[in-house]
Amino acid sequence: MGVQMLVMGIDEAGRGPVIGPLVMCGYVIEGKDSIRLKKLGVKDSKKLSHKQRINFVPELKKLSSSITVHKLTAKEIDSMRTTTNLNKIEIKIMQGIINKIEPDKIIIDAIQSDVEKFHNYIMSGLNNKQVELICENFADNKYPEVSAASVIAKVERDREVDMLKHYGFRGSGYTSDPATIAFLRKWLENNKTFPDFVRKSWITSQEMIKNREQKTLRSFN
């Protein structure tokens, strides 16, 4: 029996939140198992409940020949963004995941609207220039390999965020979440700055700190 073609799906969870890590996943499956993955019915993580995502993980791990998970803490993101931007950070991580495994085919949920430009960025850092590379917006809706990566990344991020309950945090980490904003405001009321699990380089954090400083200055006038 010949060597099976390896297909890798790449997706992330936690790109936008002000709290918690960014988690990226490279999910690899042998070509012969692609049909089984499709039958499993895995979907984009955003279309699944927390319980459904948790239940999918054991089966996804059984089918996969390799899973690579890369986590970037809020503190690391802040540090890296002093010299680069989030797109370039993610692209570099994706390239590292691909070069580590060297699959035959890669499918990525593109993080830029200009898919061709994104494709060229990814390819420029790959060791194998002949590899088949598919980059599409919303690829996690179309390709089960990317859906699988999406689910695993989301479950890993949720696990990290759940650990923040120790600090009294009960939100999602997204700026659209009232619980997240309430937590940040309360934290600033009791402390001079945010903890390391908050992305201080995010505009939400910066505006809150700025408003606190202005309020403090006014109290002295």
State the pLDDT at residue 214.
74
CATH fold for the domain made of 168-220: Arc Repressor Mutant, subunit A (1.10.10)
pLDDT at 34: 86
Instruction: Please state, as a whole number, how many other Cβ atoms lie within 10 Å of the Cβ of residue 203.
Output: 10
CA neighbor of 159 nearest in space, from 14, 58, 29, 42: 14
Q: Which residues contact 80 (CB under 8 A, 6 or more apart)?
A: 72, 89
pLDDT for the residue numbered 218: 60
- Which residue positions in the chain have pLDDT lower than 70? 1-3, 216-221
Question: Regarding the domain with residue range 6-164, which homologous superfamily does it belong to in the CATH classification?
Answer: Ribonuclease H-like superfamily/Ribonuclease H (3.30.420.10)
Rounded Cα–Cα distance for residues 147 and 34 (Å): 12
- What are the tens digits of pLDDT across the range 70-124? 999 999 999 999 999 999 999 999 999 999 999 999 999 999 999 999 999 999 9
Instruction: Tell me which amino acid residue 91 is.
Output: I
Residue ranges of the domains in the chain? 6-164, 168-220
- Cβ neighbours of 99 (radius 10 Å): 12
In the prediction, which pLDDT does 1 show? 44
The b/e string for 111-137 (b: 16+ C-beta within 10 A; e otherwise) is beeebeebbebbbeebeeeebebbbbe
Distance in angstroms (rounded) separating the CA atoms of residues 199 and 92: 20
Work out the end-to-end distance of the chain between its first and last CA atoms, rounded to an integer number of angstroms.
81
